[in-house]
Amino acid sequence: MAANFDTLTAAQIAAGIAAGDFTAREVTQASLDAIAAREDAVQAFLQVSPELALATADRIDTDRAAGKPLPPLAGVPLAIKDNMNLVGTRTTCASRMLGNYESVYTATCVQRMLDAGCVPVGKANMDEFAFGSSTESSAFHPTNNPWDTDRIPGGSSGGSAAAVAAGEVPLALGSDTGGSIRQPAALCGVVGLKPTYGAVSRYGVVAFGSSLDQVGPFGRTVEDVALAMNALVGAGRDPYDGTSQDCAVDFCEHLNDSIEGRRVGIIPAFMEAEGLTPEVRAAVEGAAKQLEAQGAQLVEVDLPHLDAAIAAYYVIGPAEAFSNLARFDGIRYGYQEPDCPNLDTQSSLSRAHGFGAEAKRRQLLGAYLLSSGVYDKYYYAAQKARTLITADYAAAYEKCDVILMPSSPRTAWKHGEISDPTQMYLSDLYTISINIAGNGGVSVPLGLGAESHLPVAALVGPAFKDRTLLMFARALERGFADAATGAPALTVAPDFAGKGGELA
Amino acid sequence: MALTQTDVRGIADYARIALEGDELEQMTAYLNDAVDMLAPVLDYDLPDVEPTFHPIGDLANVMREDEELAGRGLPLDVALSNAGSVRDRSFRVPSILGEGGDR
């Protein structure tokens, strides 16, 4: 069988290896070949780890030959956002500050994917320390959107989303502090889930906003994302992360359940928001109709305090980022400025020359917001806004099971098109409030926009029920699938599909 | 009141980030833009609303028994392996006070 591995889902790869249709080494080599053929154009990775990947694959093949039971994702190639530690790789956070940092331990989320049989093929590009919505703030190189390489892939987990959209891997891990999984998933036309805060351990993931950060998976199908969630939460809460919650459930169990009689919330103000492009609005309205056609009931809900969400986020996020990034002093790890006369100068110059512009901007904003006199004015007000936004969502979920809204107000923009940082912040309109409330959200591709012919997506944001969320995501995927083949609305971006990666 | 370059220099000093060249001017403009963007939050400083500092409301710090866990600590060479400067079993830093240089 000479198929390209990019036509296979993670579920099909694992099943094919278990059945002996192909070996884990063959799949891994196909993924590495695809990366070699496609990476010049997409630049999704900061480090490819062929030796680690092939050694992992060989262990799986050996286990199979010995008749040992294989884990559920055995032999599935995985890309890992470069803010997650994995022994044997660097963890750079796309920053010169950590350009040479070798992981000294492995993050729980990564270890759980490896325990489930995934093969780590490399570390994916991102905005520096996850500060951004375009992956342009990576200190090393930008990443290109596989649907149009003149455009950004979104961010901050842009490398993870692009690697999946370009067919280099079927699964990737990202992290989401204000939309960093859902927005790049939307712009690259893949499925991306930000689970409920605390569902997935953050131990070993470089912290940005400690009350906001959450790890989650990217895939080309909802089922693959559900399988990844099983791997991430199946072992229960992580004793190494105090925020980790015990929420082990089988995410595949109700995936294909009917949504008949369930209620989908629509927020009228969101559908009229300034900056929402007509094609995205039309696509989300189409998604609502599709869910209605499957028997769901549409109900209007209101989130009256949402006007404060972006402002509250840009108080809480930078304040927490400043606290977290204070550890980068150039002593125990990270860039160290040579030949400094004293420690104070060494710290200031190491941080000045190690961090890029956006990382400095966010930290200075955080430092200002936490300074005497300012802290009381902004920080408390932002945390009170969080109380009200959280209560808004709780009240909305009394009336509906999920809320349907765009993932991003527009499709992918051109590199350099948004250069004003505060304008970039406004692109997070639809994703940010879910992090503030700690809820989950998923971005599901709906096809290509009528005008831009670039991927558009909807986000369904529920209340602490990620399994229900994926059930609705699957309903959307089913509704927009190809009638003849059942394939999702979007698969591998056409300019990349089939390039390298033949399965022998 | 808008932040001045003197204010921003003080913030950068507090943040231990040296600003060089035209960075002071750029960061002053940015911080003023950003702080303007945050204005809507000031309407939420309401006396009858309690702040929520964390999405998991009843989160408490986690304390375990004070005992050695095999395999949890990093070996010395690994702990030192990412440092810019080390001496023997220690991270090496320049003088903490004054301009004393390395001693």
Report, as ranges of residue numbers, the positions in chain B whose pLDDT lies below 50.
Answer: 101-103
Query: pLDDT at position A307, please?
Result: 87
Query: pLDDT at position B102, please?
Result: 46
Query: pLDDT at position B99, please?
Result: 66
Query: pLDDT at position B68, please?
Result: 84
Query: pLDDT at position B55, please?
Result: 83
Tell me the sheet residues that pair with B90: B87
- Which strands make up the sheet holding A263-266, listed edge to edge? A45-48, A119-124, A77-81, A171-176, A214-219, A191-194, A441-448, A455-460, A402-406, A263-266, A297-300
* Minimal C-alpha gap between A365 and chain B (Å): 6
Answer for the pair A108, A238: CB distance below 8 angstroms, yes or no. yes
Query: pLDDT at position B53, please?
Result: 87
Residues 81-100 in A contacting B (C-alpha not used; CB under 8 Å): 100
Query: pLDDT at position B54, please?
Result: 85
Query: pLDDT at position A347, please?
Result: 97
The amino acid present at A101, given as its one-letter code, is Y
A371 is catalytic: no
Burial class (CB in 10 A: 0-12, 13-18, 19+), B2: exposed
Is B93 in the A-facing interface, judged by CB distances under 8 Å? yes
Query: pLDDT at position A225, please?
Result: 98
| Tens digits of pLDDT across chain A (504 residues) | 468 999 999 999 999 999 999 999 999 999 999 999 999 999 999 999 999 999 999 999 999 999 999 999 999 999 999 999 999 999 999 999 999 999 999 999 999 999 999 999 999 999 999 999 999 999 999 999 999 999 999 999 999 999 999 999 999 999 999 999 999 999 999 999 999 999 999 999 999 999 999 999 999 999 999 999 999 999 999 989 989 988 868 999 999 999 999 999 999 999 999 889 999 999 999 999 999 999 999 999 999 998 899 999 999 999 999 999 999 999 999 999 999 999 999 999 999 999 999 999 999 999 999 999 999 999 999 999 999 999 999 999 999 999 999 999 999 999 999 988 888 887 788 999 999 999 999 999 999 999 999 998 888 877 668 999 999 999 999 999 998 888 999 999 999 999 999 997
Please give the Cα distance from B41 to A312 (Å, whole number): 6
Closest residue to A387, CB basis, from B12, B17, B49: B49
ipTM over 0.90: yes
Going by their DSSP bridges, the two strands A191-194 and A119-124 should be labelled as unpaired
A156 is catalytic: yes
Residues 52-71 in B contacting A (C-alpha not used; CB under 8 Å): 52-56, 59, 61-62, 64
Nearest to B51 by CA among A169, A359, A375, A358: A375
* Domains identified in chain A and CATH numbers: 5-304+387-479 (3.90.1300.10), 306-386 (no CATH)
Query: pLDDT at position B103, please?
Result: 40
Radius of gyration of chain B (CA): 23
Please state, in angstroms and as integers, the Cα–Cα distance from residue B25 to each residue in A315, A350, A351, A366, B7, following that order.
22, 21, 18, 18, 11
Is A360 in the B-facing interface, judged by CB distances under 8 Å? yes
Give the contacts of A289 (CB within 8 A, at least 6 positions apart).
none
Report helix, strand or coil for A458.
strand
The chain A residue lying nearest B37, using CA atoms, is A311
Please state, in angstroms and as integers, the Cα–Cα distance from residue A463 to each residue in A60, A216, A303, A433, A435, following that order.
38, 16, 14, 12, 12
Query: pLDDT at position A428, please?
Result: 85
